Chains A and B, each alone.
Chain A
């Protein structure tokens, strides 16, 4: 009489979990970089265009802890454009201060759903690639 309880794939699940764990740094890195890029794409069209320098100054890049969106690296007035304040000779050019910023963060907020989809797809892909979608 052979009685047993067997569960197929337990070892494979354990191995897949390990693979998933090994993939996590890459997944996180890709997700945050993608999130930054999506935010840039959303923010750029909203930046006022005269020369186009301010809009073009938006970029995203990887950092030691994730990714970042940056604006104004080569455009001195970008900070003023984004956050407001006073600029120019004797601070004559006043612009209302907006704590959250006008372009980058709102661009991110508008992109949350798209970022969520990327996050979801990245997680699903990682889970699948790890072998948990057998």
Chain B
């Protein structure tokens, strides 16, 4: 066998493996961030659910108060109907309250029944009843007490307006408390919503960063693929060749994806030279200070990488030269 001339094509896969690993890491990080974000959002979603349930309950209670008030007033109006017996008046009051309260008949009817029992059984039973039923039931009991006093006390009847006022104050106090509760609930809702909003922005920023990293990883993966295969082509001339033996020629590395920079380093107002690419946008320091990125995440991640690779291979940004 005579002396030969050999052009060696070195296919070094280790760096390419690392490049793919980086792409994989980018995707994995993106997945982790999406998963974490989803967990975060779901965590807040539970808070939303809890608040929603709280609101529903509060609304129901609030409605119950209102219905009870309306029903009680109507019942009191029925009480003034001279054509009705006392029991009928009480039942009319209860029924009207039940009708107005809609879904609250489950406690209003028993409440009225208890009131009737109270009227028959005395104050002790009434107090037991009131103790057994919280605030909203106390309202009915108060009305019942009012009715009882109306029945047995001329003095009471004489000061009925004052009693109404007392009852009114009670309502106000009750409602004020309710309103405070609802206001507090709404405020809590807003606080959580604001915190969720911030969390969403933060989470999406993380997602956006993950996407950007994944994109860059994909670009650099393509670049590395070239640099580490064809880019590592070596033209080796055996060392025994006189004059030029031992020399080798390589293919220039392909530049990687232009990464840009978020903030120019240095003190405020410091000027420096920058290398720019067509299509890039320059922001002033003021514009850049509060700039945020919003990315709406949709679609299939596989298509991202594919589009990136396809785009990179097809357009001039990833010229394999």
Contacts of A33 in B (CB 8 A): 9
Question: Which residues of A21-41 are within 8 A (CB) of B?
Answer: 21, 24-25, 28-29, 31-33, 35-36, 39
Contacts of A78 in B (CB 8 A): 2-5
Contacts of B226 in A (CB 8 A): 119
The reply to whether B222 and A83 form a contact with Cβ atoms under 8 Å apart is no
The reply to whether A105 and B45 form a contact with Cβ atoms under 8 Å apart is no
The verdict on A13 contacting B4 (CB below 8 Å), with A21-B21, A67-B9, A116-B321 known, is no
Closest to A6 in B: B38
Q: Does A97 contact B (CB under 8 A)?
A: yes
Q: Does B12 contact A (CB under 8 A)?
A: yes
Question: Which residues of B1-59 are within 8 A (CB) of A?
Answer: 1-13, 16-17, 20-21, 23-24, 27-28, 30-31, 34-35, 37-38, 41-42, 44-45, 48-49, 52
The reply to whether A3 and B2 form a contact with Cβ atoms under 8 Å apart is no
Contacts of B52 in A (CB 8 A): 1
Contacts of A17 in B (CB 8 A): 20, 23-24, 27
Among A31, A67, A71, A123, contact of B313 (Cβ-Cβ < 8 Å): A123
The reply to whether B302 and A35 form a contact with Cβ atoms under 8 Å apart is no
The verdict on A124 contacting B7 (CB below 8 Å), with A5-B34, A35-B233 known, is no
Question: What string of 1s and 0s marks CB contacts (under 8 Å) between A83-95 and chain B?
Answer: 1010000000000
The reply to whether B27 and A14 form a contact with Cβ atoms under 8 Å apart is yes
Contacts of B233 in A (CB 8 A): 32, 35, 108
The reply to whether A7 and B17 form a contact with Cβ atoms under 8 Å apart is no
Contacts of B1 in A (CB 8 A): 73-74
We find that the number of chain A residues with CB closer than 8 angstroms to chain B is 68
The reply to whether B9 and A66 form a contact with Cβ atoms under 8 Å apart is yes
Beyond the given A17-B23, A124-B310, A132-B305, could you list 9 further A-B residue pairs with CB under 8 A, ordered by the A residue number?
A1-B45, A5-B37, A5-B207, A63-B8, A74-B1, A77-B2, A79-B4, A105-B249, A133-B310
Residues of chain B whose beta carbon lies under 8 Å from any beta carbon of chain A: 1-13, 16-17, 20-21, 23-24, 27-28, 30-31, 34-35, 37-38, 41-42, 44-45, 48-49, 52, 203-204, 207, 222, 225-226, 229-230, 233, 235, 237, 241-244, 247, 249, 251, 297, 299-303, 305-306, 309-310, 313, 320-321
The 5 closest A-B pairs by CB, nearest first: A134-B302, A66-B11, A76-B2, A17-B24, A10-B31
